[in-house]
Structure formats: structure tokens, C-alpha cells
Structure 1
Amino acid sequence: MSWFIEALKKYAVFSGRARRKEYWLFFLFAYITYIVFAGIGAAAHAVYLVAIPALAFLLPGLAVTVRRLHDTGRSGWMILLGLIPLVGPIILLVFYCSDSAAGANKYGPNPKEAAVLA
């Protein structure tokens, strides 16, 4: 849960790097929230309720995705690969699952090494 809160605190920070753990746990908790709101919306016959978390997590989701791409040494603009049908999302999934670039890169210090030193 702390990784989710950490990503929300940096909701509009597109610079720096995000570890795999931060990225995947953010989207896990966001997905769980979507499911809860969808269930409540279905029970209340108000399916538009799922738009609340979708809008709330749009900017933080983009920011943590860009920081995740930075962590692998790629530009945040690589997120546009997702627009390529079929192949783009697969390429992005590989990038999101890739290990961090060793050491500091042009986007900042490696967050794994910073966590070990702290």
C-alpha cells in the first residue's frame, strides 16, 4: 500500500525513476479500486461510478508509467508505442517488466541503489 501512496504523492512528477515494484503495485491497487467501484455501480445501477477512479488515476498512472520507462533508460515518449496495434502494447509490457538500468542514468540515480544505501 505504501508504494501506491508514494505514487499518488508524485501524481504529476514525470521526472525521475520508478522501480518495478512501485509501478506494478500502483496498477494493482488502481485495478482493485476499479473493481470495487464497478461492483458498487452495478449494484446501484450506476455504472458511471467507474469513471471516478478512472479520472482520479489517469494523471498518476501516466506519471508512474513515464518514470518506469525512465528507470529502464528509455524516454517517456516511448509510451506512444502503445498506439501501435497488437505489437505496441507487447513491447511496452516487456519494457515495464525489464530490470532497472544499472547505476545512474540521465533521468536520475537508480532507486534500487538508493534504497540499499538508506
Structure 2
Amino acid sequence: MRGEVISVDSFSGDGLITGEDGGRYTFSASSIRAALRIGDKVDFVGTDGVATDIIALTSQPSAAPAGGYGYAAPAATGAYDFKTAMFQFEGRLRRSHFWITWAILFVAGIVLGFIPILGTLIGLALLWPQTAMQVKRLHDMGRTGWWVLAPYGANLVMIIVTFATMFGTIAMNAEALENEDPAAIMALFGSFGLVALIFVVINLGWLLWLGIADSQPGRNKYGPNPKNPVDDTANTFA
């Protein structure tokens, strides 16, 4: 049977074909001999809504149909897409797009932080895109997105250490603090400052690691290399 590709997932390689019989058939990346694009004419075997043994007849990339089936694969240049970068946890995110997303969220957090109450709520909402971009950056390095919990765990430990250190210092220097002994006060702030410094180092180190570490070459289990997704997918299925 002959048909036309109307949807291709740029990450998995799966897609959808409309057949000459008017039916729609799903296909997996393992069923194609070369990467397909929206608009390609194909010959295939269709059984129970699934297309197999797919052979591309022509290659005519086009925009997604007006009915809204699927979407076109990202451009080979890897153009920045803020919706994908900020709101999706699937796939990979290249370093430059990570820093663009981080800068947008950083500025938004500062500006919105001046709005009473609403700014706090929006700040909490920004945790979603912040986590999404970190998960995809981890994917790009070939690591599971669960690593994103590491800095949260470290921060929790540092908060516990901070309070423990402060209470310990207060307990050991209670009398001196009551008498406003400068040495005791400096010891209290000194212990707090050391913990705060470690806190900053951990979070800054995490940010720099995510933003500087190189991508895993080629396609991995999370998708094609975001620097050139179309060519990478083509090489994978060629």
C-alpha cells in the first residue's frame, strides 16, 4: 500500500502514515530503512493500523497538515524552542540552550520577585521549567533525570547543618552571647558564614557542571543529539 507521512517524532523516530485507503497507520523507528520526514511518499504493509516494511518513494518535506497531526522535526540548525526547553522533560537540551533558558528564568525570577505574594507564587511555579531544563541537560549527557534531585538533597543537608551549627554555637557560648561578647558573636556568624559558603559552592558547582559538560556524542536513549537532530536521526536509521 502507498501513503504519506503526516507525523514524525524527532526523538523516537516513530510516526504516523495516512494510507491511500484513507486509514492512518502508526509506525516505529525499527520499521523504516531510512529516516522519514513529514510529506514523504512511502510504500508499506498496513495491518491493524500498524505500518511495517516501509520504503520511502519520494522525499518532500512539508509543514504539518492543517488538521494538526504531529509536528515537523526540529531544524538541522537546532533552533531554540522555549516551550520545549522550559516545559518538557523528554529529550535532550544542548549547552547553549540551557544557558539561554537559565538566563530567562533568572531575570524573570528577579523581576517577579518584587511583586508581593504573587511574585512568591510565580517563583514557585518557575521550579517546573528550572527542573525541566536540568533534566534534559542530564539526558544530553547520557544520565538519568533523577540526578536532578542531587542538589535538592545537598541543600536540605546544608540547611540541617546550618541550624545544627547555629544551635551548637549558641549552646556553647550562651553566657557570652548574653553579655554581647564580640568574640562569641563573631563565632556565631563565622560558623553560619562557612555553611553559607559551602551552600553557594555546591549550587554554583552544579550549575556550572550542567552548563559546561559536553553532550554525549550521537543519539542516546533520550533522543538524537540536539545540535543536529535531523542528521543524527538520518544516520541512525540509514
Q: TM-score, normalised by structure 2?
A: 0.39
Q: Is the 8 A contact 1:4 1:26 kept in 2?
A: yes
**Match 2:225 to one of 74, 88, 110:** 110
Q: Matched residue of 1:74: which SS?
A: coil
Q: Which residue of 1 aligns with 2:90?
A: 15
Question: Which ranges in structure 1 are unaligned for 5 or more consecutive residues?
Answer: none
**Match 2:119 to one of 31, 39, 50:** 50
Q: Matched residue of 1:112: which SS?
A: coil
**Match 2:139 to one of 61, 70, 82:** 70
User: For the pair shown, which has the larger CA radius of gyration, 1 or 2?
Assistant: 2
Q: How many residues align?
A: 107
What's the CA shift for 1:7? 2.2
Q: Matched residue of 1:111: which SS?
A: coil
What's the CA shift for 1:97? 1.5
What's the CA shift for 1:79? 1.4
Higher relative contact order (CA 8 A, sep 6+): 1
Question: Which ranges in structure 2 are unaligned for 5 or more consecutive residues?
Answer: 1-79, 159-197, 233-238
Q: Which residue of 2 aligns with 1:4?
A: 82
Q: Is the 8 A contact 1:3 1:26 kept in 2?
A: no
Q: Is the 8 A contact 1:4 1:29 kept in 2?
A: no
State the 4+ residue runs in structure 1 displaced beyond 4 angstroms.
85-88
- State the distance in 2 between where 1:37 and 1:78 align: 28
**Identity score, percent:** 37
> Structure 1 residues 115 and 99, CA, compared in 2 at 3 Å: closer, same or farther?
farther
What's the CA shift for 1:101? 0.8
> Structure 1 residues 101 and 27, CA, compared in 2 at 3 Å: closer, same or farther?
same
Which has a greater percent of helix? 1
Q: Which residue of 2 aligns with 1:36?
A: 111
Which has a greater percent of strand? 2
